[in-house]
């Protein structure tokens, strides 16, 4: 008797862990059960992926969905809708909400809320503070927690652990890999009085200079080695850190943001003004060149968007009164596919950075590869599709993107989460089916 599946994906080019292969994929009970399916097999539903690439469900490991917070800016329902429209099957959400996710009570609330309203699967960061250090060892093991997040330098919100004594205590509480925002807070505060309201937006990168980032990373690496606690340095932005981190592969992994691969100073500040202001800042050409080199030599483990929406009217304020942070969850995949088409990286490398990499770094179970037994998460892309990114396409209530006007070749056509088609042809389908991701550890 011919095999029967819940879902069959026929005729696509699959990006497998061992390379591209034209093969069919059979799905049952939300899992991949077969790669290579007999022509006689039947299914409840069949997707014809002719002319499409079938990627493992892509993961944005760095988003701020601002929920709880200001609903006029972003929520989990709108942020995860943006994610799936942009080709993302899973997001890992940051804890600096209002209030922040720093204790068992808020975490339990958020886990329940996510499974009612999210359109894709989610992992949650738990925020480390100077007062919750003793609880971090148990909080990091809670269901759906991808990692502890430490802001060693200030950004949006009031979460911060900036001094070596408390950072060491954090590293000695628990055992899983910790994710860090690495900018040296003392240097940021020391340099702040050098600037005044109304200075050019490009002063954002002068204030938060290369040394602020590099010093932050040197301090964290010294403590990580001392304590033996694995680290993940988020949004590395300088050539200096990328060179330095090669000597810390025993203890450290790192993330690169799509912005640092795509936007460059001074152009971004001249053209985008407040809509080019983010932390760590977009820097000059030499840093972008180093970023691309690090993508292609394997220094970088993950790529994220750092989706961090703010109201349009606040981004129009003069520097430094405009808040730092840019939208990005919906544009991450299109912009990266465009880079693939421009020859800057291979599609297999993109899949590693946006799926296998996040799954490996954070220990996500059942995610990150097309393989039997893994979750039936897929991002189907048309490498030849051409579109322009426009503000009107963005579903975040704040309604803007720093990539507006960018012409893109390569576009996500469909997203499937655990066998459920949640997006097809720019339309979100069904009901929110998002669940908490499981993490090993």
**Token pair 């990539």 in the structure block, residue:** 403
* Minimum CB–partner distance for residue 62 and Zn ion (Å): 6
Does 306 interact with Zn ion (rule: CB under 5 A)?
A: yes
Does 93 interact with Zn ion (rule: CB under 5 A)?
A: no
* Minimum CB–partner distance for residue 424 and Zn ion (Å): 30
* Minimum CB–partner distance for residue 343 and Zn ion (Å): 29
Q: Please identify, among the stretches 23-31, 75-83, 305-313, 396-404, the one whose residues bind Zn ion according to the rule CB under 5 A.
A: 305-313
Q: Please identify, among the stretches 1-9, 43-51, 213-221, 304-312, the one whose residues bind Zn ion according to the rule CB under 5 A.
A: 304-312
**Degrees to nearest 5, angle at CA 217 with 157 and 328:** 50
* Minimum CB–partner distance for residue 94 and Zn ion (Å): 5
Which of 391, 395, 381, 291 lies closest to 345 in space, CA to CA? 291
* Minimum CB–partner distance for residue 308 and Zn ion (Å): 6
Q: x-or-dash pattern for Zn ion, window 249-288, by CB under 5 A?
A: ----------------------------------------
102-108: list long-range contacts, CB under 8 Å, 24+ apart. 102/126, 102/127, 102/128, 102/129, 102/132, 102/159, 103/132, 103/135, 103/139, 104/135, 104/138, 104/139, 104/142, 107/139, 107/142, 107/145
**Token pair 């006029």 in the structure block, residue:** 72
Tell me whether residue 185 or residue 306 sits nearer to Zn ion (CB atom).
Answer: 306
Which of 293, 255, 335, 323 lies closest to 69 in space, CA to CA? 323
* Minimum CB–partner distance for residue 270 and Zn ion (Å): 24
What is the DSSP code string of 173-241?
Answer: S--SPEEEE---HHHHHHHGGG--TTS-TTHHHHHT-HHHHHHHHHHHHHHHHHHT--EEE-S---HHH
Q: How many residues bind Zn ion (CB under 5 A)?
A: 1
**Length, in residues, of the chain:** 441
Q: Please identify, among the stretches 11-19, 125-133, 210-218, 302-310, the one whose residues bind Zn ion according to the rule CB under 5 A.
A: 302-310
Does 74 interact with Zn ion (rule: CB under 5 A)?
A: no
Does 60 interact with Zn ion (rule: CB under 5 A)?
A: no
Closest CB to Zn ion belongs to which residue?
306
Q: Please identify, among the stretches 141-149, 301-309, 313-321, 411-419, the one whose residues bind Zn ion according to the rule CB under 5 A.
A: 301-309
Residues at the interface with Zn ion (CB under 5 A): 306
């Amino acid at each position: 008797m011919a095999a029967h599946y819940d879902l069959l994906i026929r005729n696509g080019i699959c990006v497998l862990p061992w390379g591209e292969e034209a093969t069919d994929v059979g799905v049952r009970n939300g899992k991949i059960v077969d790669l290579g399916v007999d022509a006689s097999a039947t299914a409840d539903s069949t997707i014809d992926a002719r002319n499409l690439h079938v990627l493992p469900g892509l993961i944005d490991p760095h988003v701020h969905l601002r929920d709880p917070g200001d609903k006029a800016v972003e929520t989990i329902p709108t942020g995860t809708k943006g994610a799936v429209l942009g080709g993302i099957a899973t997001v890992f959400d940051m804890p600096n909400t209002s209030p922040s996710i720093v204790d068992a009570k808020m975490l339990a609330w958020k886990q329940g809320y996510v499974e009612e309203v999210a359109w894709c699967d989610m992992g949650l960061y738990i925020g480390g503070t100077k007062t919750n250090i003793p609880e971090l060892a148990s909080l990091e093991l809670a269901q759906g927690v991808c990692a502890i997040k430490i802001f060693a330098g200030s950004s949006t919100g009031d979460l911060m652990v900036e001094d070596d004594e408390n950072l060491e205590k954090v590293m000695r509480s628990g055992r899983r890999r910790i994710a860090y925002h690495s900018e040296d807070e003392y240097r940021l505060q020391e340099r702040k009085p050098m600037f005044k309201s109304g200075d050019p937006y490009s002063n954002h990168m002068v204030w938060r200079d290369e040394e602020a980032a590099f010093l932050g990373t040197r301090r964290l690496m010294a403590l990580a080695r001392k304590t033996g606690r694995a680290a993940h340095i988020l949004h590395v932005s300088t050539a200096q850190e990328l060179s330095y981190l090669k000597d810390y592969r025993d203890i450290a992994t790192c993330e690169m943001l799509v912005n640092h691969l795509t936007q460059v100073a001074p152009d971004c500040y001249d053209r985008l003004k407040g809509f080019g202001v983010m932390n760590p800042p977009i820097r000059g050409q030499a840093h972008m060149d180093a970023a691309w080199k690090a993508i292609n030599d394997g220094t970088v483990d993950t790529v994220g968007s750092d989706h961090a929406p703010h109201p349009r009217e606040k981004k129009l304020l003069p520097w430094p009164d405009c808040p730092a942070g840019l939208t990005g969850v919906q544009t991450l995949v299109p912009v990266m596919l465009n880079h693939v088409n421009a020859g800057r990286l291979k599609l297999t490398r993109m899949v590693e950075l946006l799926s296998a990499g996040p799954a490996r770094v954070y220990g996500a179970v059942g995610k990150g590869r097309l393989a039997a037994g893994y979750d039936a998460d897929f991002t189907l892309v048309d490498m030849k599709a051409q579109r322009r990114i426009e503000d009107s396409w963005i579903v975040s209530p704040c309604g803007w993107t720093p990539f507006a006007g960018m012409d893109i070749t390569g576009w996500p056509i469909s997203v499937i989460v655990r066998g459920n088609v949640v997006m097809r042809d720019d339309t979100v389908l069904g009901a929110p089916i998002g669940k908490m991701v499981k993490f090993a550890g």
